[in-house]
A and B are shown apart, each in its own frame.
Chain A
Amino acid sequence: MAKQRVLVVGGGLAGLAAAMKLAEGGVDVDVMSLTPVKRSHSVCAQGGINSVNELTRQQGDNEAKHLDDTVYGGDFLQHQPPVKEMTDWGPRIIDLMDRIGVPFNRTAEGFRDQRRFGGTLFKRTAFAGATTGQQLLYALDEQVRRWHAAGKITMYEGWDFLSPVLDDDGRCRGGIGQNLVSMEIRAFPADAVVLAVGGCGLIFGRSTMSMACTGAAASRAARAGAIYANAEFIQVHPTAIPGADKLRLMSESARGEGGRVWVPRKPHDPRDPKQIPESERYYFLEERYPKYGNLVPRDIATREIFSVCVNDGLSVDADKQSVYLDLTHIPRAELDRKLGGILHIYEKFQGVDPREVPMKIFPAVHYSMGGLWADYERTPAGGLVPGSPRNQQTNIPGLYAIGECDYQYHGANRLGANSLLSCIFSGLFAAPGIQKAIGSLKDSASDEKYDQLLRGQRAVKQLEHDELLKREAGRENPYLIHQQLGDVMTKAATVVRENGQLRDAVEKVNDLAERVEKCALSDTGNWTNQNVLFTKSLRDMFPIAKAILKGALARDECRGAHYKPAFDMPGIDADASPAEKRRQAEEWCDAFEEKNRKWLKTTIAEVDGQGEPHLRYEEVDTTIVPPRPRLYGLVGAEIIEEAWRDRQAKHASNGAKATHAPQPVGA
């Protein structure tokens, strides 16, 4: 048998973590990436990485609370065992990152410093300035370079993943890649293929994501039969800097370090913001959520910012939407030490010093909570079985998904600073299982018997490429179609969703999907042809775009980032008598239970041969933390929390199961 190998696609945090752990285990690894891996989108992560730490522990924190915050923040849509395993691993992961040289900020005594992030009351977030993602990525990049020097890892930087290769039994035996410079299409035999291909922000045109985040690689896997889950859950980050080419992220750490969000109480107050007295400023997050203040979870902060601008008409400027994010009360030296990187970005692109003048920000598409469906093997205690070949495996044997492109960890909304953790965790944790999986195979994809399969699949992709180049020029311009797709998606499927608009968007996207097939290539050459590569990626955005819209249209409820006002649960009448309030709260809780019975389910999209997604639903394993109303101490909602607590206590004393607790998937 020829030597086995693993193909890792994507060189961000997840892909590099998996590659180095596999190499350590003695596995030969090929890493395929669109960009030199050091330039992957993980560099854009700013604020930090969460884990329980010695300090928070002494304030009453523990791994179970990190799990609780994560699933409460995610509106209970994620399976809880993987989250439990991740939060248990958190402290060890930060320690490892520390050992491999990440320059985490330090306390005066030399310990790692931590800041507070959204959706928690503890300071769990370790950070390296305000470029934590960059620093973590570099540390992993350095480890992978070390394995490259040792001959264990081969780098294929500047390659686009075109498809997985499946044998007659449906097992993944490798992948097809295309070189971005020479345009060579090549088959990569692999005994496991690990997709660490990131998010799909470019479907929305402009977002906080990098240009490589088209979602095309995940879409190609879906086209080959990998199921895609919770597509409709797209995180819109509350604070970004609007720009013509990109909406640049302004990290949550700005609020974690004391940044305050406000608008002038007088609409479009023309005064210099620093001249507006406190009494004439509306700190709407602090007023509405006194417990969490500016650090409510992202979906809530986003909706409040959106609503204060759109519904209340309190945007800073009349002609465009924005609110102030104010750091000017914090000393300069502290800002430079803890937030230098992001302040530099604001300064460079806006030409204004945010240490002196409040920043103007607005929400922007930021993260895909949904992604390729991935499996896990659960222990009786509720964690994951270490080294199980099922962990992170898609429904295609031998094809794995990790990092942002999997759907596993963040449910309906991701908490800030949890993505760096989930990316590194899923990569490190999956590796031993992958190694075990290939160890149990009787042969190698590099054996001669697979030559024909791999050559055949390569030829299919070559033919597709040649036909695209030779195709009679149509009239459509791929860059314009991309703009139009982004406009439709941003309008219909971001902060507020409405069924009529979604139906309309489905039609428009269907139309664009047809038009994309008539794109004229302005470059028909066969050398560094970015035009044809972009057109291919654009084409592959459509199945995921459709899955987002269809999922959002079908899901008639509000959950996390998915907000449909028509199905929002009405609040309690603030002026009612206590008894009436209680009655309304009981009704609210009934409706909440009913909603969970119907919609506390994973959306599964299966993409057919025409690129059309078909939906079905799967139960969610919520056996560790029972779902509860997600109110974050909203002023006026205390009565609901009280009614819910009483209800739970009654259930418990009746010995009944507290809530909806389905059987875990695959159990």
Chain B
Amino acid sequence: MSAHANGHSHQSKKPHSFEVRVLRQEAPGEGSRWERHRVTYEPNLNVISVLQKIATQATTADGESTTPVAWDCNCLEEVCGACTMLINGRTRQACSALVDRLLEENEAIELRPMSKFPVLRDLCVDRRRMFRALEKVQAWIEVDDYFDRGAGPRESPQMQGTRYPLSECMTCGCCVEACPQYTKIELERLPGESDVEYHRREDEAFDEGFVGAAAISQAMLFNDNQTGAMKKGERLDALMAPGGIQDCGNAQNCVAVCPKSIPLTRSIARAGRQTTVRMLTKWFDS
């Protein structure tokens, strides 16, 4: 029986074609509008192949010629994190959003850009703030150099089993998209402002905003590494600064939407305990 191509036994009648609504925006700061497309049904489509079909058609459902929808993608197997968007209201990767599943829930597919990041165009958003947060929490191992100094520290399989899932985070942004505490930061570029100046101003604003679950979890990942632990204090200080862990409202949406099932709330709880200890230690030492 399970010889069926995708092993699913749903034999519900598939439509000849289906509607795809895309929220389009020409450029940052401009208004957005819905555009309707009609796509011929084929089995085993995902949202990426739907967007590819729309690009090839270059015509809307109303028969008007249109520009291809802009979207980000790269690996198409849910390991690079590029193609995150809101699909029928849910934050997820377009590559692993299978049309057969989506049509079981809705007749049409609705695509919107992530709402917590500045829209560059259509479904493309700028997630630089997430990478800035990794810098803020010093999400790296401070090795002396890249010369040969033998192996790294021995590690138990249990500790590897703790670190590896945290290290699967692809900075896709689902966790912060779903987070009520993480609000959009979008600065308008000043006339004549250079890229460098603009990014500096952005970084300052980002550093005031909530770092989000992904970066908190990364701080825990590096605190768990024996060499990384030597900079544990600095990472915790970053998490205690404005925009740090105290901004977490414990909504727990992050862990529910993480495509890699990373135990984000566990990381946040651990970060909470570690920062408390750090605070008390500092207080007693002062």
Residue ranges of A at the interface with B (Cβ–Cβ < 8 Å): 20-21, 24, 35-36, 38-41, 43-44, 92, 94-96, 98-101, 103-112, 128-129, 131, 134-135, 138-139, 142-143, 145-146, 148-149, 181, 210-212, 243-246, 248-249, 270, 272, 317, 337, 341, 345, 348-352, 357, 428, 477, 479-480, 522-523, 525, 527-528, 530-531
Bound-state CA distance A525–B68 (Å) is 11
Chain A CB within 8 A of B27 CB: yes
Tell whether A349 pairs with B157 under 8 Å between CB atoms, given A43-B80, A101-B152, A479-B56. Answer: no
Bound-state CA distance A112–B70 (Å) is 43
Are A522 and B65 in touch, CB under 8 angstroms? yes
Among B1, B143, B228, the one with the most A-chain Cβ atoms within 10 Å of its Cβ is B143
Residues of B within 8 A of A38 (CB): 80-81, 131, 170-171
Are B78 and A348 in touch, CB under 8 angstroms? yes
Contact of A95 among B140, B148, B171, B228 (CB under 8 A): B148
Residues of B within 8 A of A479 (CB): 52, 55-56
Bound-state CA distance A293–B122 (Å) is 50
Tell whether A106 pairs with B146 under 8 Å between CB atoms, given A142-B139, A270-B3, A522-B68. Answer: no
B:26-71 near A, CB below 8 Å: 26-27, 42, 44-46, 48-49, 52, 55-56, 58, 65-68, 70
Tell whether A210 pairs with B74 under 8 Å between CB atoms, given A96-B148, A99-B227, A351-B8. Answer: yes
Are B134 and A145 in touch, CB under 8 angstroms? yes
Are B150 and A142 in touch, CB under 8 angstroms? no
Are A248 and B77 in touch, CB under 8 angstroms? yes
Residues of A within 8 A of B240 (CB): none
- 30 examples of A-B residue contacts, CB within 8 angstroms: A38-B80, A39-B80, A92-B148, A95-B150, A98-B152, A99-B143, A100-B140, A100-B141, A101-B152, A103-B155, A103-B167, A106-B160, A131-B79, A134-B170, A142-B134, A143-B140, A145-B135, A149-B135, A211-B74, A243-B46, A245-B46, A245-B49, A245-B52, A246-B77, A345-B77, A349-B96, A479-B52, A522-B67, A528-B124, A531-B55
Given A38-B171, A142-B139, A525-B67, 16 more A-B residue pairs with CB atoms under 8 Å apart are A43-B170, A96-B148, A99-B151, A103-B163, A109-B154, A128-B167, A129-B164, A211-B73, A246-B77, A249-B77, A317-B3, A345-B78, A351-B98, A352-B7, A357-B7, A528-B124
Residues of A within 8 A of B45 (CB): 244
Distance to closest chain B CB from A353 (angstroms) = 8
Distance to closest chain A CB from B121 (angstroms) = 4
Residues of A within 8 A of B65 (CB): 522
Distance to closest chain B CB from A363 (angstroms) = 17
Bound-state CA distance A41–B82 (Å) is 11
Residue on A nearest B77 in the bound complex, by CB: A248
Are B168 and A131 in touch, CB under 8 angstroms? yes
Bound-state CA distance A479–B134 (Å) is 37
Are B8 and A428 in touch, CB under 8 angstroms? no
Residues of A within 8 A of B56 (CB): 477, 479-480
Bound-state CA distance A100–B227 (Å) is 9
Residue on A nearest B48 in the bound complex, by CB: A245
Chain A CB within 8 A of B13 CB: no
Residues of B within 8 A of A348 (CB): 78, 96
Residues of B within 8 A of A138 (CB): 167
Are B98 and A349 in touch, CB under 8 angstroms? yes
Are B171 and A244 in touch, CB under 8 angstroms? no
Are B146 and A96 in touch, CB under 8 angstroms? yes
Residues of A within 8 A of B184 (CB): none
Residues of A within 8 A of B150 (CB): 95
Residues of A within 8 A of B102 (CB): none
Residues of B within 8 A of A145 (CB): 131, 134-135, 139-140
Are B146 and A43 in touch, CB under 8 angstroms? no
Residues of B within 8 A of A528 (CB): 27, 70, 120-122, 124
Chain A CB within 8 A of B12 CB: no
Are A39 and B143 in touch, CB under 8 angstroms? no
Residue ranges of B at the interface with A (Cβ–Cβ < 8 Å): 1-3, 6-8, 26-27, 42, 44-46, 48-49, 52, 55-56, 58, 65-68, 70, 72-82, 95-96, 98, 120-122, 124, 127, 131, 134-135, 138-143, 145-146, 148-152, 154-157, 159-161, 163-164, 167-168, 170-171, 222, 225, 227-228
Residues of A within 8 A of B157 (CB): 105-108, 110
Distance to closest chain B CB from A527 (angstroms) = 5
Bound-state CA distance A106–B153 (Å) is 12
Residue on A nearest B99 in the bound complex, by CB: A244
Bound-state CA distance A214–B72 (Å) is 15
Residues of A within 8 A of B6 (CB): 350-352
Are B26 and A99 in touch, CB under 8 angstroms? no
Are B164 and A128 in touch, CB under 8 angstroms? yes
Are B96 and A106 in touch, CB under 8 angstroms? no
Contact of A349 among B8, B52, B77 (CB under 8 A): B77
Bound-state CA distance A134–B81 (Å) is 11
Are B67 and A531 in touch, CB under 8 angstroms? yes
Bound-state CA distance A134–B79 (Å) is 8
Residue on B nearest A527 in the bound complex, by CB: B27
Bound-state CA distance A145–B225 (Å) is 18
Bound-state CA distance A349–B101 (Å) is 11
Tell whether A39 pairs with B141 under 8 Å between CB atoms, given A101-B227, A103-B163, A528-B124. Answer: no
Q: 3 closest pairs, A vs B, by CB?
A: A98-B152, A352-B7, A142-B140
Among B1, B42, B152, B159, the one with the most A-chain Cβ atoms within 10 Å of its Cβ is B152
Residues of A within 8 A of B70 (CB): 528, 530
Residues of A within 8 A of B227 (CB): 99, 101
Tell whether A99 pairs with B1 under 8 Å between CB atoms, given A246-B76, A480-B56. Answer: no
Contact of B141 among A94, A101, A249 (CB under 8 A): A101
Residue on B nearest A181 in the bound complex, by CB: B120
Distance to closest chain A CB from B142 (angstroms) = 7
Bound-state CA distance A525–B79 (Å) is 31
Residue on A nearest B169 in the bound complex, by CB: A138
Bound-state CA distance A527–B145 (Å) is 41
Distance to closest chain B CB from A561 (angstroms) = 23
Residues of A within 8 A of B151 (CB): 94-95, 98-99, 112
Bound-state CA distance A249–B79 (Å) is 12
Residue on A nearest B71 in the bound complex, by CB: A530
Are A36 and B127 in touch, CB under 8 angstroms? yes
Bound-state CA distance A294–B3 (Å) is 24
Among B26, B122, B148, the one with the most A-chain Cβ atoms within 10 Å of its Cβ is B148
Are A350 and B7 in touch, CB under 8 angstroms? yes
